Structure 1
Amino acid sequence: MVLLVITIGGFYAIPNLFGEDHAVQVVATRGAEVTASTLSSVNGLLESKGIAVKRAELEDGQLIVRVQNAEQQLLAREAIAESLGDKYTVALNLAPATPEWLEAVGGTPMKLGLDLRGGVHFLMEVDMGEAIRKMEEAKIADFRSQLREQKIRYAGVRKTAKGLEIKFRDADNLAKAERYLKSLSNDMVFTDNSVGENYMLHANMSDVYLKQIKEEALQQNITTIRNRVNELGVAEPVVQRQGAERIIVQLPGVQDTARAKEILGATASIEFRMVDENADQAAAANGRVPASSEVYPRRSGGIAVLKKEVMLTGDHITGAQPSFDEYSRPQVSINLDAKGGNIFSNVTKDNIGKPMATLFIEYKDSGQRNPDGTVKMTKIEEVISVATIQARLGRNFVINGLDHAEAQSLALLLRAGALIAPVTIVEERTIGPSLGAENIENGKMAMIWGMAIVLIFMLVYYRAFGVIANLALTANLVMVVGVMSMIPGAVLTLPGIAGMVLTVGMAVDGNVLIFERIREELLAGRSVQQAIHEGYGNAFSTIADANITTFMTALILFAVGTGAVKGFAVTLMIGIATSMFTSIVGTRVIVNLMWGGKRVKKLSI
């Protein structure tokens, strides 16, 4: 078992020895797709430019092209970006140089944090108050619409410090409204707060509903930010939640903080417009369209002539999910708020049987600067869907005529085109690449010197048993690296290296306790076999107590910490687990092999 565990740990630690290749990463954006033909055309292009390609591969919908050195990397990026156009993001990257056979069985090197590779770190906080306020406004509009539909007379609906308040002129209408509104949803808690002739019905969001709103706001913002980060073409970006209201964004290799902020805070919106069926497509291609219409490019290719009048904006969309109709054909189910439902119902009743377009509008970084130094933004407008209105539409409707991939993409764009609630950057750090390389070198030196001192001490003080402890310590370090490489989300940071150095010192603590106990038993007149047995048996509880308490502390650090603190906690927890295995089980195996069951009168300890 010991050999198997150490072999597995060593096997997954091996990829860290191969280093990294200079590479160019190609990511499809705005409806494009990276395919085998893209790979073939890029290979042909680089060959014609005289750029030697070490390896080119499709990986998770991205194209990674490995080249010989940094100079060829820059040339390759320029050539590929010019050839593919603006529907692809081409970025510099460092790709692991792990052999293909090792990658095939899951062998990958450790991911390096920003402090080791360089880049930008943001800690962003979601304004949950604004998310709840938007939902309360939607609820007010819903109440007004629902009460009018049921012909229930009310005097007004407004927001107060205690929640939402609906005022009635008499008790009968209040009772009808309370029964009806309660039957619609369990999300709200209704209370009759009438006083005298003031007939008031208070509505408060339930705790479960408030928690759901906050969770959806956080998850939708994470999705939106992740989509925007992908537009950057950053290698191995990190976008993850931190607690209940915060999002961590780490962009390795990005040094322009202003540009990163502009992209993360970019705005996007959706508009529904009618298609101008009477427009001449040939004339429109040359820019000649009626005064009441405009020409827009279609994401799938070609153009569309749309009416200038906007039927509805995406601000009214409360949900969009891909689904299937009764014939298992893909579609997108869209939910609107009450105001949006009324608007849509009125504008679609006279347009049944006519095509309606979904226009996606986004402001993106142009790569240029304004005179005042700010990032110049470019407005991009594309028609992402055209569907025929089959019937009068209300708050809930579907868009069909799409394939599965298009339905998934459209739902994502409709749902996450804009941030559902504002985000504020509460922490910002920028690490330069040269500082990252220096951190790696300093971390290596700290590891080497710490390891060397411990090895020499154990060898001199415990002699033969010191050799055994040193073997266990080396195996422990290999296992820590192996486990860190195996865990998909684990990232090695500078504090993580500190955790590994600390683990080196802590890993021999268990052996020190065991060896000292064996010495005590020998001095007490026990035989060699009894001393070894008692040393390992009696020291175990002490070692376990010390390591468990340290592990719990590291677990708390991981749960409440951010960034660097998490990196330290992860390596410390892994190091504690592996050190207990090597110092107790691993050394016991070697000791038993050397002295177990033998007549030994003296130990080299």
Structure 2
Amino acid sequence: MQNKGLIKLFAILFGIVSIYQLSFTFVTNKVERSAEEFAVQKISEDTEDYVVKREAEETRYLDSVGNTTVFDIGLTSFTYNEAKEKELNKGLDLKGGINVILEISVKDIIKGLANDSKNPVFNKALANADKAARNSDKPYVDLFFQEFDAIKGDTKLASPEIFANKLLSEDVNFQMSDNEVKPVIRRKVDESIVSAFEVLRKRIDRFGVTQPNIQRLGATGRILVELPGAKDINRVKRLLQSTAQLEFWETFKNEEVIQYLFQVNERLKTLVGTDNKVEDSTQQSGSESSELDELLADTEKDSLESMGGANPLFDLAVAPGAQGGPVLMSFATKDTAKVNSYLKMREIRQLIPSELQNARFVWSKPGTNQEVIDLYALRSNRENQPPLSGGVVVDAQQTYDQRGNPAVSMQMDGKGAKIWEELTGKAHRQGSFIAIVLDDIVYSAPGVTSGPISGGSSEITGQFSLNEAIDLANVLRAGKLPASADIVQSEVVGPSLGQEAIDSGMMSFAIAMSLVLIWMMFYYGRAGWFADVALIFNIVLIFGVLAGLGAVLTLPGIAGIVLTIGMSVDANVLIFERAKEELAKGKGQKQAVQDGFGNALSSILDANITTGLTAIILFIFGTGPIRGFATTLMIGIATSLFTAIFITRLLIDWYLGRKKSLKFSTDITKNLFQNINVDFLAKRKISYTVSGIFIVVALISLFTQGLNQGVDFVGGRSYQIRFEHPVNPTELDGDLSGPLGSVEVKTFGAANQVKVTTKYKVDEEGGQVDEEIHGILYKALQKHLPDGLTEAEFVGSGGDTGGYGIVQSIKVGPTIADDIKRNALWAIMGSLIVVFLYILIRFRRWQFSAGAVAALCHDVLIVLGVFSLTYRFMPFNLEIDQAFIAAILTVIGYSINDTVVVFDRIREITSERGWKAGNNINLAVNSTLSRTLNTSLTTLIVLLAIFIFGGESIRGFMFALIVGVIVGTYSSVFIATPVMFDTLKNKGEDVLKKKESETVEG
């Protein structure tokens, strides 16, 4: 091997850099352990809410040492904060936290650009686009244009009542055609989404988690946000979804509205009578009716019909508002929907006196007990435009009010300061109040007692917790979103589950690593030792590269690394087997090693390139943890090639240079797989029949039983819930099927843990539905939960509670589920096409490609069939989700790896000796058996270790790989090779005759 000195230097530098990158992780872990110990010593378990308080103490400790030097290497030093930025990033499934995909409402953006147009054609086109979007992957703006063109008639996009308005006066004029307006709107929509991205980025930067990840997904309105380590999930969702639409409104006083409320109560007595009949009162008279009116649910009507009572409105009131104040009445939070439905009834709206015609009824922020909420009436106008909006706010800070309670102070720009002074002056003269409204919720409604407020400063007070005040200042400072942001996909992992994943992942890693190291020493003796050293160095490089690139380590990523351990052994196995062959031919040690490495190189490169291609496809089409798996697999392939080809060679050359003998086997294994002569091709009819039967059974099962599709592919919500004691899933199914409708409850791992899947209100967006489902789950399952476990603790926002309650939740909207399914199909089809083309280019015969792809299709169908046949009774989860697609692509990569090695030997032998009616093909297959079985056995040992010790969440993924490796090993010999032979047989014989003729003539 030439340039040994350069390779040694490069290996040493590579190793030092990797250890350097990993050292930051060890340093930060040490500091964080100290923080944890400090918190445990300061807060005893006897303290109320000790878990939450310990977390707060840990945070304070880490903040205090943030700028303290914790890592000094002589030439330079690093503070804790600097080291934290360089540590190995852990993903959600290892650290806990939240991963969401937000979809910015392009519909809201278009409505805003049209200045909330009332044009019927415009609104009809939006409604039609909503319907079309459910079954299309086209951008919403394109669907809107498509629907508008279908119904527009003489209406133009550049009409004054649509886009030729004041807002777009510089970009759109009356003379423009629709085709000229469309690119303008597309650009404006894209600018709004970019603006939303920047707003969210600013909010997240100030949230306080380390290593947040935010990225825009292609040209869509979707934004991926990942916050590892975030624990208060409800707080995160509020932060992400709050549009931060800040408005300042004058309010009506209590006495100005109370008479109307008396009239409302009296009229309701006749509408909600003893005959339980209610007129269809949800439609307003006249042309306009709000979307809320149209969407009033039948269940709310039913509740009105069944009420009756002396005072339908006043009986719901918890307390009247103070006379002269802005609060009209206080109600229980649970009754707000009912009060809203009363106030929106057509007969009730007809009672509004002229002085209240523009009144807008809104609710306050819930109080500290979350059970009582106040009703206000704002002095609105025909345009529904506030006198002052949040666009004038240039800064906001969390402060404290005069009583020492958390508050938020704001500073306005010059224009805002002038309007604020006029507004507060008017309120002072009239003795009225100014409501500070954020996203249609009144946070406070102070009076102005000391005259006009100049300078543009103001303060928002209310019953805030410290975090709420911090978050409110954060969103105001970052600015408002240009449109609503809905969570269309989310994954929440509790911190306790993350720690369990780390423990189980590292245990499986250690066991798999140990088994592989022992096997290599057992099978190859001293050469196995050298392979083990190269393998350990390979692991150091993988982790070092991950840390250096800032990549995220996930549980599937650990699986990818452990799988790399098994697969990377393949390169050494190929080299050692070829070296043994050369020694058997009588060559000297050094020459045998040199030829062994040289002859194996082609197979090693082909096998790793094809696996790498499938990993690249997986990276392109995958998201989140699956992309992490692909990342580690690609890095592992690269480092495995380097260590197997160069590091192992350096060690062997060093050993031989000391005049020592190297046998590449032990006394037990030296004669294994020797002189094997199986006629595989003669048995191909049997293999075709057996495989055909399996495929037919698989197809019948797929068409009759189908697959257990997870929420990734069908949409819905799933919750992994842990209880203190074992539970009966059938009993829980009965408890939940009433309030949630169709629900599936299955034991997930241990008997005290279940997975609940539901499609309840899957089409509805917003945090209210999530909170509703959390409430239903908590109420229905409370009898099985530990005593004293609150709802906040149950859903994971009240601190760690020993891991009980919801430890993981996943939500996937139906639209994004279709996209995931489509991407999965493209990923599988793309990998098959890429493999076909690579084999075609490499072997220059389509028959080799046909054999390889036939084997891959065979493997995929068998794995799918096994999942279809067994998912109903297997004691672990066999859902078809994104992780399963990753497993299928990995099976494709592994199978093609195996097939390429066999094909490579066939090409080598037949090019030297010809076909001879398939005898040399059998010879080639027999010569690779040792390598095939060795690699397969090693890989299976690794996979079984992860399957047994790697945790429940990854067990189905590992099962797919185990089945895939077994089937892939079989198909390389009994499907790929026979198919190639049968399609190439005649041509091969022609080539042979031609060669024999040329030999005779010569």
TM class by shorter chain equals 0.5 to 0.7
Question: Measured at CA, do residues 418 and 594 of structure 1 come closer, stay the same or move farther in structure 2, by a change above 3 Å?
Answer: same
The separation in 2 between residues aligned to 1:117 and 1:167, in whole angstroms, is: 52
Establish whether residue 518 from structure 1 lines up as the match of residue 584 from structure 2: no
Task: Give 1:165's match in structure 2, choosing from 156, 160, 163.
Answer: 156
Unaligned segments of structure 1, at least 5 residues:
25-53, 55-65, 79-89, 142-157, 169-176, 178-182, 192-200, 275-286, 288-295, 311-354, 369-374, 382-408
Partner of 2:479: 417
The separation in 2 between residues aligned to 1:585 and 1:555, in whole angstroms, is: 24
Question: Measured at CA, do residues 167 and 113 of structure 1 come closer, stay the same or move farther in structure 2, by a change above 3 Å?
Answer: closer
Partner of 1:226: 201
The separation in 1 between residues aligned to 2:530 and 2:217, in whole angstroms, is: 42
Task: Give 2:622's match in structure 1, choosing from 555, 561, 565.
Answer: 561
The separation in 1 between residues aligned to 2:91 and 2:612, in whole angstroms, is: 22
Partner of 1:367: 465
State the Cα distance separating 1:304 from its structure 2 match.
Answer: 6.4
Q: Is the 8 A contact 2:87 2:547 kept in 1?
A: yes
Partner of 2:698: none
The separation in 2 between residues aligned to 1:444 and 1:380, in whole angstroms, is: 40
SS at match of 2:156: strand
State the Cα distance separating 1:13 from its structure 2 match.
Answer: 2.2
The separation in 2 between residues aligned to 1:126 and 1:360, in whole angstroms, is: 30
SS at match of 1:20: helix
Q: Any residues of structure 2 matched to 1:355-434 within 5 Å, and which? A: 366-367=464-465, 417-434=479-496
Question: Measured at CA, do residues 166 and 502 of structure 1 come closer, stay the same or move farther in structure 2, by a change above 3 Å?
Answer: closer
TM-score normalised by structure 2 residue count = 0.36
Task: Give 1:101's match in structure 2, choosing from 61, 67, 72.
Answer: 72
The separation in 1 between residues aligned to 2:642 and 2:69, in whole angstroms, is: 28
Establish whether residue 454 from structure 1 lines up as the match of residue 501 from structure 2: no
Instruction: Output the amino acid matched with 2:23.
Output: I
The separation in 2 between residues aligned to 1:211 and 1:273, in whole angstroms, is: 29
Instruction: Output the amino acid matched with 1:69.
Output: F
Partner of 1:112: 90
Partner of 1:254: 230
Establish whether residue 307 from structure 1 lines up as the match of residue 276 from structure 2: no
Q: Is the 8 A contact 2:410 2:458 kept in 1?
A: no
Question: Measured at CA, do residues 269 and 542 of structure 1 come closer, stay the same or move farther in structure 2, by a change above 3 Å?
Answer: same
* CA deviation vs aligned residue, 1:283-308 (integer Å, no higher than 9, x gap): xxxx9xxxxxxxx85489xx967334
TM-score normalised by structure 1 residue count = 0.57
Q: Is the 8 A contact 1:268 1:361 kept in 2?
A: no
Bigger relative contact order (CA 8 A; separation at least 6): 1
Q: Is the 8 A contact 2:524 2:664 kept in 1?
A: yes
Task: Give 2:552's match in structure 1, choosing from 482, 491, 507.
Answer: 491
The separation in 1 between residues aligned to 2:62 and 2:462, in whole angstroms, is: 22
Where is the strand percentage greater, Structure 1 or Structure 2? 1
Where is the helix percentage greater, Structure 1 or Structure 2? 2
SS at match of 1:419: coil
* CA deviation vs aligned residue, 1:194-234 (integer Å, no higher than 9, x gap): xxxxxxx4344455x56644543333222222333344323
Instruction: Output the amino acid matched with 1:262.
Output: R
SS at match of 1:69: helix
Partner of 1:603: 663
The separation in 2 between residues aligned to 1:189 and 1:459, in whole angstroms, is: 81
State the Cα distance separating 1:140 from its structure 2 match.
Answer: 12
State the Cα distance separating 1:360 from its structure 2 match.
Answer: 9.2
Partner of 1:70: 39
Q: Any residues of structure 2 matched to 1:208-219 within 5 Å, and which? A: 212-219=187-194
Establish whether residue 124 from structure 1 lines up as the match of residue 102 from structure 2: yes
* CA deviation vs aligned residue, 1:231-283 (integer Å, no higher than 9, x gap): 43233332222333322222333333322222222232478979xxxxxxxxx
The separation in 2 between residues aligned to 1:522 and 1:493, in whole angstroms, is: 43
Structure 1 range deviating more: 512-521 or 254-263 = 254-263
The separation in 1 between residues aligned to 2:652 and 2:532, in whole angstroms, is: 13
The separation in 1 between residues aligned to 2:543 and 2:88, in whole angstroms, is: 8
Establish whether residue 541 from structure 1 lines up as the match of residue 598 from structure 2: no
Question: Measured at CA, do residues 530 and 591 of structure 1 come closer, stay the same or move farther in structure 2, by a change above 3 Å?
Answer: same
State the Cα distance separating 1:460 from its structure 2 match.
Answer: 1.0
The separation in 2 between residues aligned to 1:126 and 1:297, in whole angstroms, is: 27
Task: Give 1:482's match in structure 2, choosing from 544, 551, 555.
Answer: 544
SS at match of 1:529: helix
Partner of 1:437: 499
The separation in 2 between residues aligned to 1:265 and 1:73, in whole angstroms, is: 36
Q: Is the 8 A contact 2:158 2:174 kept in 1?
A: no
The separation in 1 between residues aligned to 2:194 and 2:458, in whole angstroms, is: 21
Question: Measured at CA, do residues 593 and 367 of structure 1 come closer, stay the same or move farther in structure 2, by a change above 3 Å?
Answer: same
State the Cα distance separating 1:70 from its structure 2 match.
Answer: 1.9
The separation in 1 between residues aligned to 2:72 and 2:596, in whole angstroms, is: 44
Q: How many residues end up aligned between the 2 structures?
A: 411
The separation in 2 between residues aligned to 1:119 and 1:517, in whole angstroms, is: 49
State the Cα distance separating 1:561 from its structure 2 match.
Answer: 1.5
State the Cα distance separating 1:509 from its structure 2 match.
Answer: 1.1
State the Cα distance separating 1:478 from its structure 2 match.
Answer: 0.8
The separation in 1 between residues aligned to 2:621 and 2:458, in whole angstroms, is: 39
Question: Measured at CA, do residues 358 and 264 of structure 1 come closer, stay the same or move farther in structure 2, by a change above 3 Å?
Answer: farther
Q: Is the 8 A contact 1:363 1:378 kept in 2?
A: no
Sequence identity (%): 34
State the Cα distance separating 1:358 from its structure 2 match.
Answer: 7.0
The separation in 2 between residues aligned to 1:297 and 1:267, in whole angstroms, is: 17
Task: Give 2:112's match in structure 1, choosing from 134, 145, 148.
Answer: 134
State the Cα distance separating 1:501 from its structure 2 match.
Answer: 0.9
Establish whether residue 266 from structure 1 lines up as the match of residue 251 from structure 2: no
Instruction: Output the amino acid matched with 1:20.
Output: N
SS at match of 1:250: strand
The separation in 2 between residues aligned to 1:378 and 1:533, in whole angstroms, is: 67
SS at match of 1:234: coil
Instruction: Output the amino acid matched with 2:231.
Output: Q
The separation in 2 between residues aligned to 1:297 and 1:133, in whole angstroms, is: 29
The separation in 2 between residues aligned to 1:426 and 1:250, in whole angstroms, is: 14
Structure 1 range deviating more: 446-455 or 90-99 = 90-99
The separation in 2 between residues aligned to 1:445 and 1:524, in whole angstroms, is: 43
SS at match of 1:251: strand
Q: Is the 8 A contact 1:15 1:98 kept in 2?
A: no
Instruction: Output the amino acid matched with 2:148.
Output: A
State the Cα distance separating 1:9 from its structure 2 match.
Answer: 1.6
SS at match of 1:425: strand
Q: Is the 8 A contact 1:558 1:570 kept in 2?
A: yes
The separation in 1 between residues aligned to 2:623 and 2:460, in whole angstroms, is: 32
Determine which structure has more spread, i.e. the larger CA radius of gyration.
2
State the Cα distance separating 1:425 from its structure 2 match.
Answer: 0.8
Q: Is the 8 A contact 1:13 1:479 kept in 2?
A: no
Partner of 1:238: 213
Unaligned segments of structure 2, at least 5 residues:
1-9, 50-58, 120-143, 248-386, 390-401, 403-408, 425-452, 666-1002
The separation in 2 between residues aligned to 1:241 and 1:363, in whole angstroms, is: 35
Q: Is the 8 A contact 2:93 2:497 kept in 1?
A: yes
RMSD: 4.8
State the Cα distance separating 1:99 from its structure 2 match.
Answer: 3.6
The separation in 2 between residues aligned to 1:471 and 1:23, in whole angstroms, is: 32
